Amino acid sequence: MKIAITGGTGFVGTVLTEQLKREGHHVYILTRSPEDHTNSEQVTYVGWLKKEHHPEKELPVLDAIVNLAGESLNSGRWTEERKQSIINSRIQATESVIDLIDALPEKPEVLVNASAVGYYGQSNTKTFTEETTEPGKDFLANVVVEWEERASQAAEKGVRTVFVRFGIILGKKGALPKMMLPYKLMIGGNLGSGEQWMSWIHIEDVVGLLDYAIHNKDINGPINGTAPNPKRNKDFGEALGNVLQRPHWLTAPSFALKAALGDMSTLLLDGQCVIPKKAMAHGYAYLYPELTPALKSIVKE
């Protein structure tokens, strides 16, 4: 297959590219700076998002596009300017993907668009599946709603469209190294009450689900990119402490996190219990359905 990826040089994109290469596919990575990369037998870098770039003229007939582009949520305090940047990075990239689909002589069979469990809002008591159609009312939910609305334009053009709503992605990069640091410093413990849910997924299952969505023609619309066993923060922390052989004992008070991080503290203090009902119903076989083996596989590497 010929598969284009936006955000292909990021954390998820690089792992996905390696997976697709192992399967024998050719990957076209859409990037602002193709000149900074070297093409290989199975990977071609194509210019994108600049006026001088015309990817529709360089790309072959594509089987799939995977849109992973978007500014990281946890790379700085959420000022109003930063919030707008978070929204714009996702909306602009997705609109550019839709424009590309319009410009291609032949449309791809599928668009797999990254999304987030933030769609569901925050709750310590509710359980959410893809059958939950009422989004939350907070900032992150609003971001996801706008993001998915833009991507859904592909479906209107006859392209099968999948939104993979990811939870906390566990791997060597991303959120986990930051979560591990307090334990390594012997100050790990609950964040706030510790009752907030953490819907997590191992990086290998992230790329597994993306790959699964590309190849399974009966998958449409939202699919939760989470493991089937979410954990409350206190239980997640205890598991992480055990794997690292460090104590889980020192609570970080909510007020201190809010003072230090502002609105961004919602990433640590709020959560949702998300079940991947559609992935399980379609027979996706998780490599890491349980948290402790998932953490051990990353820590031991």
pLDDT digits (tens, 9 = 90+) for 101-111: 999 999 999 99
The CATH number of residue 206's host domain is 3.40.50.720
Q: Which of 97, 67, 289 is nearest to 162 (CA)?
A: 67
Position 184 scores a pLDDT of 94
Q: Return the SS3 of 69.
A: coil
Position 72 scores a pLDDT of 86
Count CB-CB contacts under 10 A for residue 300.
Answer: 7
Compute φ and ψ for 160, nearest 5 degrees: -60, 130
Domain limits for position 43 = 2-299
Count CB-CB contacts under 10 A for residue 174.
Answer: 18
Look up residue 188 and give its two tokens: 């790990």
Position 171 scores a pLDDT of 97
**Which stretches of the chain drop beneath a pLDDT of 50?**
none
Position 196 scores a pLDDT of 98
- Report d(CA 268, CA 236) in Å as an integer: 12
User: For the chain, how many structural domains are there in total?
Assistant: 1
Q: Which of 166, 176, 239 is nearest to 205 (CA)?
A: 166
Position 300 scores a pLDDT of 85
Instruction: Supply the pTM of this predicted model.
Output: 0.95
Position 301 scores a pLDDT of 61
**In angstroms, how far apart are the furthest CA atoms of the chain?**
59
Position 74 scores a pLDDT of 80
CB 264 within 8 A of CB 210: no
Q: Is 68 exposed, middle or buried (0-12, 13-18, 19+ CB in 10 A)?
A: buried
- Report d(CA 112, CA 87) in Å as an integer: 19
Pairing of strands 160-166, 221-225: parallel
CB 162 within 8 A of CB 111: yes
